[in-house]
Amino acid sequence: MARIPRRKIHGALVGSTVSLLQSIERAVLRPLVMRLHGKIERGKLLQYNLAYEGSPGDIFVVTYPKSGTTWLQMIVYQLTSDGAMDFAHIDHVSPHLEETLMPRGRHISDLSGTPRVVKSHHHYRDIPKGPGKYIYGVRNGLDVAVSYYHHARTYFPGWKNRPLNEFFETFMKGHIPYGSWFAHVSGWLRNEDRLNVLIVHYEELSADLETGVRRIADFCGITIDPADLPRILERCSFAFMREHEQKFALEGRRPPPPAKTTPFIRQGKVGGWQQDLDPRLVGEFQKACDERLRGSGDDRFRVLSARDAWQGGPTAPVPASSSARELDAAADDAPRVPLGSAG
């Protein structure tokens, strides 16, 4: 029988040890490190939130990304000031909690403006809680997904030339900054801690900006001087905000992305998804909507899905079925990556 050279045996042993160690790294160490990282991040968040001494005057503008956050920031700014456009970026008048304040160790109590207005994309469980006012903006999930895709193409490394279908699947899995849209929306609409939340639909603002603005003003305890109304409506219009794009786009507060193909104030349409998404994906989304958002049998989630159009009327908090709650808790563990670093 021919002898196998020792070098070969040695080589084979080293090879299999390396691949065993790689498998252990992939299957055990990496997930462990990620989980540990997640726990540290949660600890930091908890610490930050515990330091928050809420004030009834505080206003939080909260959304899942691409749901009309900037529009709401502009509405609140126009309502709470003389509306001058002398700010360099909207972030200077209502800073982004997790991208501008937290990383610099700045607290809401460090803000000097009155009222203190903060933007956040936090899930319900992560938001600093207090007696302030929380304006939660929601938008039909299909329009959110398409808008997020354009955002990803511009701001996320590696997405410039990837197709919408691929992004949509990633969106459905919640493997993007801020995780699952379904978990985000249902957590906020459920409002289990009974925060002072006003739900504002993107579709509602789009159908009748004046009524939407008045509803937000009422919620914030602001009386609109009739002389100011034309200015507020004009400055919150799509055309005006597009004209001042640099005061709203992400690159207003960081270097411009190399792959900017689409304006930040992009299209501003309701139902734009109908031109872009193929029916199979819409079907998947609708099924998930039925399971995750309508699990309670409550129709107030309807406007967010593919089938239904905006019917008008305010949205009240919604109880969820226990299965919807479990799904949300699982999705809530999605990595929290800043929208800016990834996009």
CB-nearer residue toward ligand PPS: 237 or 286: 237
Cα–Cα dist 270/254, whole Å = 29
Residue 68 within binding range of ligand PPS, rule CB under 6 A: yes
Residues 320-339 binding ligand PPS (CB under 6 A) are 339
Residue 265 within binding range of ligand PPS, rule CB under 6 A: yes
What DSSP assignment string belongs to 112-164?
Answer: -SSS-EEEE---GGGS--SSSEEEEEE--HHHHHHHHHHHHHHHSTT-TT--H
Residue 266 within binding range of ligand PPS, rule CB under 6 A: yes
Residue 150 within binding range of ligand PPS, rule CB under 6 A: yes
Cα–Cα dist 124/101, whole Å = 18
Taking the complex as a whole, the smallest distance from the CB of residue 148 to ligand PPS amounts, in Å, to 8
Taking the complex as a whole, the smallest distance from the CB of residue 241 to ligand PPS amounts, in Å, to 4
Cα–Cα dist 222/80, whole Å = 8
Residue 274 within binding range of ligand PPS, rule CB under 6 A: no
Taking the complex as a whole, the smallest distance from the CB of residue 157 to ligand PPS amounts, in Å, to 17
| Three-state DSSP state, 47 | helix
Taking the complex as a whole, the smallest distance from the CB of residue 35 to ligand PPS amounts, in Å, to 27
- Cis-peptide into 177, omega within 30 deg: no
Residue 154 within binding range of ligand PPS, rule CB under 6 A: no
Residue 63 within binding range of ligand PPS, rule CB under 6 A: yes
Residue 167 within binding range of ligand PPS, rule CB under 6 A: no
What DSSP assignment string belongs to 317-334?
Answer: -----HHHHHHHHHHHTS
CB-nearer residue toward ligand PPS: 8 or 175: 175
| Three-state DSSP state, 271 | coil
Question: How many residues form the binding site for ligand PPS (CB under 6 A)?
Answer: 22
Q: Dig out the tokens for 41 from the structure.
A: 């991040």
In this chain, which of 268, 277, 293, 332 binds ligand PPS, going by CB under 6 A?
A: 268
Residues 171-200 binding ligand PPS (CB under 6 A) are none
Which region among 142-150, 167-175, 281-289, 324-332 touches ligand PPS (by CB under 6 A)?
142-150
Up-side HSE of residue 338: CA atoms within 13 Å toward CB?
12
Which region among 166-174, 263-271, 306-314, 320-328 touches ligand PPS (by CB under 6 A)?
263-271
DSSP 96: B
As to burial, measured by CB atoms within 10 angstroms (0-12 exposed, 13-18 middle, 19+ buried), residue 133 is buried
Q: What is the largest CA-CA distance in the chain?
A: 101
Angle at 125 between CA 311 and CA 103, to 5 degrees: 110
Which residue number is nearest to ligand PPS in terms of Cβ? 268
Contact criterion met (CB below 8 Å) for 105 and 97: no
Residue 238 within binding range of ligand PPS, rule CB under 6 A: yes
String of contacts with ligand PPS for each residue 197-236, x by CB under 6 A: ---------------------------------------x
Buried b (16+ CB within 10 A) or exposed e, 256-279: ebeeeeeebbbebebebbeeebee
Taking the complex as a whole, the smallest distance from the CB of residue 50 to ligand PPS amounts, in Å, to 26
In this chain, which of 69, 180, 186, 305 binds ligand PPS, going by CB under 6 A?
A: 69
Task: Enumerate binding residues for ligand PPS (CB under 6 A).
Answer: 63, 65-71, 143, 147, 150-151, 236-238, 241, 265-268, 272, 339
